Structure 1
Amino acid sequence: MSYVPLNVLKPVAPDLWIVDGPEITLNRIGLKLPFTTRMTVIRMSNGDLILHSPVEFSPGLHSALDKLGPIRFLVAPNSLHYWWIPDWKAQLRDVPVYAVPGLEKRAKRPIQVDQLLMDRQSPWPNEIDLLVVKGDVLTEAVFFHRVSRTLILTDLIENFELNRIHSWFLRLLVHLSGAADPDGKAPIDMQLTFFRSSQALRKAVRQMIVWAPERIIFAHGRWYEKDGVKELRRAFRWV
């Protein structure tokens, strides 16, 4: 199911790259399920790099990133995507970690958070817009990179390609969850966790549509290289 080649920089737009990492195993609905991983790399106008949802650390990947510019920010964009940040932090001790509220308490390994991502208070207001979407289980920071018109999500949309999944049982689960390409969206179990905050989520989705993204990147499955607004309206129709 992995999006090979792994641990290499893949250009998306000027000053924007993704890195597809190896699969990890997560517990969901009582089952251990494989998930792909994906990092987004943003280069700011001053050359600084933001690593959004870092994949597993490797010296080769670190070296490739250094050729793009200095790594200045490590971002845990939601309360699930943080696992490899302590390993990057160990190599980049002076680089601050930005994370959603509550991560330090919920994380299953120690992680030092230097600054919280709050509401619409973007740490980079001249280049990146920020929304923090809060649910009962998941809190996710949504980024909009203005120059490239790219919306950067993590788990609010999942879009698994069934032909990449070898297990028939896992294909069935993904299909039933509603997170299968070409109609990917938040899986049904995650949708239910936003029941009490549906109004706030609708407001957040409206803002994403106002931004009019050209493309949408997320962590799991085939991301959207075009028709960003159309995909947003489709993927969030459950809201």
Structure 2
Amino acid sequence: MRDQPPKVRAALLGIGLAELAVVSASSAHPRRGPGQGFGPLGRLLDPDSRWAENTSYPPLDTPKPVAEGVFIVDSQLPGTVGMVIGARMTVLRLPDGGLLLHSPTRFSHALKRQLEDIGPIRHLVAPNIAHWLFLRDWQAACPEATTWAAPGLRQRRQVRRAGLRLDHDLTGTAPAEWGGAIELVVVPGGLGFHETALFHQPSRSLLLTDIVMNLEEPKVPPLLRPLLRLFGMTAPDGMPPPYLRAVVRMRQQDALRAAEHLLTLQPERVIFAHGRWFERNGTSALRRSLRWLLRG
């Protein structure tokens, strides 16, 4: 691996992780009869799936307050070969009372009603090239909301094929419509990867998506735990998967400057999409989780 260029290393690691996930999720005995497939959606909805229940942080699909004007919604999404992974949306109440939905998770009318009890839904944010899959449902339910996308997302073939509406691209400056309460930091990478971090200044909360992943071992299948531990992806100071680290390192200096900027913000808490988020001592926890990118 050391002799391969970064793009090849990233591809090999991604393929290897996918194959290991297939092995860990496979069984010699079907859990359902013919015609009763146990694909991603079936796994997600199946009440007998122990891992489907255990991958996230209940109560699911309901807003939970974490600071003044900051709420999280823990949910799930289909993963590889029928597996389910936990996912998290963060909701910010802006100075005008409107809500910003960061990395929207699966839609339900019940969740929409709960959010509207907090404030009108005015902004939908897709912060990187992966976290956009549920946007269409939210757009249909909230037609007046504006959609903001990470740089490069609209160029993705899957996004163009889906016909997803993206109103504006995010830059290094927060939109005026957000009321001056948020600072943006774009973390770049190779292969068109960008992740836009949001820093909510009133609560000193930093919102990330995938550049930190802090998986708790009881919430992943046992056969995957040694692999995740080996790759440094487990709590208490987990890192993103090796292929994503390799992609970000393709723009090492730019990504390093962005990471150092995130630390200078000194967040009190760091909220991200997968795993146990950092409820306290956010700056020191973030520094440990970014050790793969920081100098020294």
TM-score by shorter chain over 0.5: yes
Which of residues 183, 196, 202 is equivalent to 1:147?
202
CA distance in 1, matches of 2:100, 2:179: 14
**Which residues in structure 2 correspond to 1:149-228 (within 5 Å)?**
149-165=204-220, 167-228=221-282
- Return the TM-score normalized by structure 2: 0.75
Given that 2:77 and 2:106 are in contact with CA atoms closer than 8 Å, whether structure 1 keeps it comes out as: no
Question: Cα distance, 1:112 vs. partner?
Answer: 0.8
Is 2:131 the counterpart of 1:77?
no
Root-mean-square deviation (CA, aligned residues, Å) is 1.5
CA distance in 1, matches of 2:243, 2:84: 16
**Greater Cα offset, 181-190 or 7-16:** 181-190
Is 2:173 the counterpart of 1:121?
yes
The structure that has the greater radius of gyration is: 2
Given that 1:86 and 1:110 are in contact with CA atoms closer than 8 Å, whether structure 2 keeps it comes out as: no
Given that 1:177 and 1:187 are in contact with CA atoms closer than 8 Å, whether structure 2 keeps it comes out as: yes
**Greater Cα offset, 134-143 or 71-80:** 134-143
Question: Cα distance, 1:117 vs. partner?
Answer: 0.5
CA distance in 1, matches of 2:109, 2:227: 36
User: Runs ≥4 in structure 1, deviation > 6 angstroms?
Assistant: none
SS at match of 1:194: helix
Which of residues 16, 26, 29 is equivalent to 2:70?
16
2:117 counterpart letter in structure 1? K
Q: Looking at secondary structure, tell me which structure has more helix per residue.
A: 2
CA distance in 1, matches of 2:113, 2:95: 21
1:237 counterpart letter in structure 2? R
Given that 1:104 and 1:110 are in contact with CA atoms closer than 8 Å, whether structure 2 keeps it comes out as: no
Question: Cα distance, 1:15 vs. partner?
Answer: 0.6
SS at match of 1:130: strand
Q: Looking at secondary structure, tell me which structure has more strand per residue.
A: 1
Given that 2:103 and 2:132 are in contact with CA atoms closer than 8 Å, whether structure 1 keeps it comes out as: yes
CA distance in 2, matches of 1:78, 1:72: 19
CA distance in 2, matches of 1:58, 1:2: 17
Provide the residue aligned with 2:165 in structure 1: 112
Is 2:283 the counterpart of 1:233?
no
Q: Which digits, 9 at most, give the CA deviation of each residue in 1:205-228, with x for residues without a partner?
A: 111111110000000000000111
Number of residues of Structure 1 aligned to a counterpart in Structure 2: 233
Provide the residue aligned with 2:89 in structure 1: 39
CA distance in 2, matches of 1:189, 1:32: 21
CA distance in 1, matches of 2:279, 2:167: 32
**Greater Cα offset, 154-163 or 182-191:** 182-191
CA distance in 1, matches of 2:163, 2:225: 33
